């Protein structure tokens, strides 16, 4: 029987058309960055794994799962350039970041260095961990707009002290959508013997990732963003010298069984209890399917999406009357632009998201794009994503819709 991850698309690639994707084709979907989107062959692979699990759950969990996960580690390891045996497959980056923090023996006075562009789930876990351990968080402020990647290196390295125990830095930041120069930061941390965690939730599939070349202590990744794998397909690379302490937040019923041929690290993550492993099992299909969308495979796809987001950002920036916020070298396939503030009287409008403007874009224009606040100044921003199903017309539509909705906000200010 053909393993499900070798299912190939039966129709020729038509990457610019939505019907190959699970997305609602009536939407102008400009937020691949938050939760990705699924190609049909990937959804089919996951469904095939679910069917296999349900046909004989005992065989699936007791006999087959371990080998299937090893296959995923192999494929993912070759995509990320690291050893498969150094990879743990987990539900998501949130779990991976929390596991790392809980695996680190932090003492009162220890410093955990982060930037002010890190993701909220890390900040929340840091609140809990610092309360418990007495360690403290030091935040390096990274300006936005930003002139050069060197600013990130200077600010982060400048905030390292004799008490710095670990450094967390995003490979591609969430709200600001910036590619950070992590190599220089990792190199310096390694030189000083400081644990360094690269939060790559956004990087695999958006920009090239070379874990061997980077050599961090930990590299956290998501399948369900730019690899377009199913939701719940996270992973983490753990450097061999940290694998003994990188224990799951909950230990499974199997891990006490001695298996001289298999490391505790692998056994810990071979089985985390009964659950749906089909998302991580479908990662290889996602790598194959996405990699076959364009002639030239992944490098061509990343280049296409980068060029598209650059053009899209130009269109939206023009409609907003703002300048690009960073050099092109700090852009992958997402770009963030500043928005004006609404009148104070509009501040209490209800929202399903983070800002009523996002509701308006969705309800009145069918556009899905995040509107957030970021940084110490709580600057309101819009972040656009580019995936191969997007077209330049969609960014034009966003530009027009933003201009219209912002004019409405301004008119309220004038008439209030």
Ligand X SMILES: Cc1ncc(COP(=O)(O)O)c(C=O)c1O
Binding site for ligand X (CB under 6 A): 92-94, 119, 121, 170, 174, 199, 201-202, 222, 234
The burial class, CB within 10 Å (0-12 / 13-18 / 19+), for 50 is middle
Give the CA dihedral 368, 369, 372, 374, nearest 10 degrees: 160
Instruction: Considering the complex, state which of residue 92 and residue 409 has its C-beta at the smaller distance from ligand X.
Output: 92
The burial class, CB within 10 Å (0-12 / 13-18 / 19+), for 165 is middle
Dist. CA 359–CA 100, nearest whole Å: 36
We find the least distance from the C-beta atom of residue 276 to ligand X, in angstroms, to be 15
Tokens of 348: 């209490």
Instruction: Considering the complex, state which of residue 72 and residue 406 has its C-beta at the smaller distance from ligand X.
Output: 72
Of the candidates 124, 31, 113, 143, which has an alpha carbon nearest to the alpha carbon of residue 374? 143
Instruction: Considering the complex, state which of residue 230 and residue 342 has its C-beta at the smaller distance from ligand X.
Output: 230
We find the least distance from the C-beta atom of residue 174 to ligand X, in angstroms, to be 3
Instruction: Considering the complex, state which of residue 100 and residue 308 has its C-beta at the smaller distance from ligand X.
Output: 100
We find the least distance from the C-beta atom of residue 219 to ligand X, in angstroms, to be 12
Q: 3-class DSSP state for residue 20?
A: helix
282 with 42: CB under 8 angstroms?
Answer: yes
We find the least distance from the C-beta atom of residue 336 to ligand X, in angstroms, to be 12
Instruction: Considering the complex, state which of residue 73 and residue 225 has its C-beta at the smaller distance from ligand X.
Output: 225
Instruction: Considering the complex, state which of residue 121 and residue 263 has its C-beta at the smaller distance from ligand X.
Output: 121
Instruction: Considering the complex, state which of residue 121 and residue 391 has its C-beta at the smaller distance from ligand X.
Output: 121
SS (H, E, C) 57-117: HHHHHHHHHHHHHHHHHHHHHHHHCCCHHHEEEECCHHHHHHHHHHHCCCCCCCEEEEECC
We find the least distance from the C-beta atom of residue 121 to ligand X, in angstroms, to be 5
We find the least distance from the C-beta atom of residue 286 to ligand X, in angstroms, to be 14
Residue 116: CB atoms within 10 Å: 17
We find the least distance from the C-beta atom of residue 6 to ligand X, in angstroms, to be 26
In the chain, what is the straight-line distance between the N-terminal and C-terminal CA atoms, in Å?
68
């Amino acid at each position: 029987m053909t393993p499900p991850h070798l299912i190939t698309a039966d129709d020729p690639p038509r990457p610019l058309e939505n019907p190959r994707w699970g997305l609602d084709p009536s939407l102008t979907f400009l937020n691949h960055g938050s939760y990705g989107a699924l190609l049909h062959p990937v959804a089919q692979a996951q469904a095939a794994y679910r069917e296999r699990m349900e046909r004989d759950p005992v065989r699936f969990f007791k006999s087959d799962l371990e080998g299937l996960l090893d296959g995923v580690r192999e494929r993912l390891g070759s995509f990320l350039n690291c050893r498969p045996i150094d990879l743990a497959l987990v539900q998501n980056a949130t779990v991976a970041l929390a596991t790392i923090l809980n695996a680190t023996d932090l003492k009162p006075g220890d410093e955990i260095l982060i930037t002010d562009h890190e993701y909220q789930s890390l900040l929340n876990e840091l609140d809990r961990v610092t309360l418990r351990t007495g360690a403290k968080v030091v935040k390096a402020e990274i300006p936005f707009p930003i002139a050069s990647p060197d600013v990130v290196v200077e600010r982060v390295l400048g905030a390292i002290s004799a008490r710095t125990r670990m450094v967390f830095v995003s490979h591609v930041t969430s709200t600001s959508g910036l590619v950070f120069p992590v190599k220089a930061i990792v190199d310096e941390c390694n030189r000083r013997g400081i644990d360094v965690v690269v939060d790559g939730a956004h990087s695999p599939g958006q920009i090239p990732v070379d874990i061997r070349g980077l050599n961090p202590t930990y590299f956290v990744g998501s399948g369900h963003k730019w690899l377009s794998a199913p939701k719940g397909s996270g992973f983490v690379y753990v450097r061999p010298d940290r694998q003994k302490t990188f224990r799951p937040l909950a230990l499974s019923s199997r891990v006490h069984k001695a298996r001289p041929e298999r490391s505790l690290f692998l056994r810990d993550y071979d089985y985390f209890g009964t659950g749906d492993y089909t998302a991580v099992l479908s990662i290889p299909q996602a790598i194959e399917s996405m990699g076959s969308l364009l002639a030239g495979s992944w490098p061509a796809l990343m280049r296409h999406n980068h060029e598209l987001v650059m053009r899209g950002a130009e269109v939206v920036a023009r409609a907003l009357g703002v300048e690009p916020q960073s050099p092109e070298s700090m852009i992958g396939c997402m770009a963030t632009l500043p928005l004006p503030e609404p009148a104070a009287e509009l501040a209490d409008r209800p929202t399903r998201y983070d800002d009523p403007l996002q509701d308006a874009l969705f309800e009145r224009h069918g556009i899905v794009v995040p509107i957030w606040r970021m940084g110490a100044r709580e600057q309101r921003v819009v972040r656009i994503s580019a995936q191969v199903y997007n077209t330049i017309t969609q960014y034009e539509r966003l530009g027009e819709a933003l201009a219209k909705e912002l004019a409405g906000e301004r008119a309220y200010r004038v008439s209030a």
